[in-house]
Amino acid sequence: MKQSDREPNITTRGVIIHLLRMLWLHSRERRAALKRDDYTCQGCHRKQSAAKGKEFKVEVHHCAGSIDWDAIIEYIRRNLLVDHSRLVTLCKECHDEEEREG
């Protein structure tokens, strides 16, 4: 699909995935798991290394199983990245009031 064929006010799936990946890569939860495990693979016990010629990276795995990215993206589009007709610009005070009234 060409850029001109896309709706200009729709955040693309690629952008959503990229930003979710950045959130995960910089999350405290991921960082805590790496620190807890001393940057060491819990399967083969190799430690992450940045030494030239000996580069080795570890990743953080979700033990609960695979992530349903399609469901997450659909939820984001349905509840957060809604059509602009469902959005209104407010100052912080008015926004806080709307949130309280709910």
For every one of its 102 residues, what pLDDT tens digit does the chain have, with 9 covering 90 and above? 555 555 668 899 999 999 999 999 999 999 999 999 999 999 999 999 999 999 999 999 999 888 899 999 999 999 999 999 999 999 999 999 999 997
Tell me the C-alpha distance between 75 and 63, whole Å: 22
Which of 11, 26, 6, 20 minimizes the C-alpha distance to 68? 20
Overall number of domains in the chain: 1
Tokens of residue 63, six digits: 């033990």
In whole angstroms, what separates CA 98 from the centre of its chain?
27
Which of 58, 63, 75 minimizes the C-alpha distance to 20? 75
Query: 85 lies in which domain range?
Result: 3-101
